[in-house]
A and B are shown apart, each in its own frame.
Chain A
């Protein structure tokens, strides 16, 4: 009996402990993994007295499912272009009151009013970049210019592919000369079949794990975003990164405020957060740590010259011209998922 009482008392104490978190206001933020310099969050907390509850996701689909199906209520999230478009079309985003975000002036004009949010009513550009091939120059001794090297049998078991449907099917579409935003079922299926044909050469389908694997010399070729490539090259300088001549995606991740049940009270805090992240010194810390290109010109100007002139950090006009921004595919999405599953299952 005594033990039982002790147990119950313990229980009560623990409940007390659990209950007394701090009473500060909270803001719920979700972002991509490795996409922020985390101490920046503490700086925000100290400056504004608002606690940041921060979490990460690894694909747009995952973020979308969290918000729409699992009822996760975030105040600020950072989807990329086509998912911003989808969320706008479905009425899932709250418009930003730009009067509260004066730091938006530092955002480069070339990142404003892009097709997925033509008047920037809902989104503020955060990071941008491209997607290409990172390769180990000690193992690949020829210049890489085309996606087709990923189908070269000499590199069997040396290739890491990105485990995300649009990025990987998209590169196959470009190799075939199609648009990445094609809604033609035949083009999709040709791209799919090309990827299935590639399966025996692929070592693994991974996401950000490709970074560690390339650094450790586990493979010769990998498909990654330019920011990841700079991580790899920093830790293992034997690597190089190219955006193949067939063209690739250009992606723009933007901060948005999803509509939730508590928008009224949180909108102002969300805007404070967005404004804080657009402050040039903060954007500078973020870009220096993550190695992803900033959309913040104020921050760009403070960067060291070797960053500003780095073609991987700041893709040239040629790459931009060949690049394509993903567009939301609407109902065709189901076909896309299906094709991607088929690629993955083809290894069974």
Chain B
């Protein structure tokens, strides 16, 4: 019985997860010249050194792209956490009768197309947009948000916030309430109950929230183009450019590999933070 179920799925995994990764790695490690394909590290050198020797300004050009991506993704993750944790906490707390409905309200926007939702921000943020009109009415100076990194961050937070809220909410709801009561009975004050008991127990949710927000942030190109006006060039932009404009799958694959390495690193770091949840497979998502 179990063979019957596992075997086809293993095959599925091999075809649609393992082989694609191997293919990406294959392209990253090869070059094609005159129809001949040979193994090389030149693509990685391209990424880490840039292609214009002797011009200091352009050295490590793509490393700078990677750093900018990581930097923006980190900030957006931090904002998502700061906004999302209290939100999940409130949603999970007693006192709201329609908890599930409220939670649903936060997921429902995802049913509207992400591009349309992101595009709608243009109307709000632009120079003559709604936000500036409001500022003007209030007698405040207007500010340029659209086509700045603030707009990009806002787009990331807006799109990825539910991915932070959901896992934290789940881990908070699943928490054994008796532990909290026990802590209270032992005389812990609310702050201590939170810092010593609730927060550590919700850590698996936080960790999966962080990975779910960080990675798409580091890889986006739509948000940086649409709201950032291509003012910032991110890893996602580089992939899109190499695959769809330059048409070089080898260099494009290198960037994909870099993103995968980034993913493995961030997962490993987070694993260190929250040990002992290896068995809690279900807590993710």
Contact = CB atoms under 8 A, between A and B. Distances in A.
Q: So, do A and B actually touch in the complex, CB under 8 Å?
A: yes
B200 to A, nearest CB: 37
A206 interface: yes
Contacts, number: 73
Interface in A172-222: 202-206, 213, 216-218
B181 interface: no
B247 A65 contact: yes
**Size bracket, chain B contacts:** 20 to 34
B147 A342 contact: no
A348 B233 contact: yes
B128 interface: yes
A68 to B, nearest CB: 6
A64 B244 CA distance: 9
A62 interface: yes
B68 interface: yes
B246 interface: yes
Contacts of A62: 244-245
A347 B57 CA distance: 12
Interface in B180-236: 228-233
Contacts of B62: 345
A213 B128 CA distance: 10
A157 interface: yes
B247 A204 contact: no
A216 B132 CA distance: 14
A316 B281 CA distance: 70
Contacts of A341: 61, 233, 238, 241
Interface in B62-88: 62, 64-65, 67-68
Contacts of A146: none
Contact of A69 (B61, B64, B126, B249): B249
Most buried by A among B61, B64, B67: B61
Given A337-B245, A338-B52, A344 B147 contact: no
A61 interface: yes
Given A342-B58, A345-B64, A348-B65, A204 B246 contact: no
Interface in A298-348: 334, 337-338, 341-342, 344-348
B230 A206 contact: yes
Contacts of A346: 57
Contact of B229 (A64, A204, A217, A334): A204
A338 B51 contact: yes
Contacts of B51: 338
Nearest to A59: B245
Contacts of A65: 243-247
11 contacts: A61-B245, A69-B243, A202-B231, A204-B147, A204-B228, A205-B229, A218-B146, A338-B52, A344-B230, A344-B233, A348-B68
Q: Which 8 A-B pairs have the closest CB atoms?
A: A204-B229, A205-B230, A204-B147, A65-B247, A61-B245, A348-B68, A344-B233, A345-B233
Interface of A: 59, 61-62, 64-66, 68-69, 157, 163, 202-206, 213, 216-218, 334, 337-338, 341-342, 344-348
Interface of B: 51-52, 57-58, 61-62, 64-65, 67-68, 126-128, 144, 146-147, 228-233, 237-238, 241, 243-247, 249
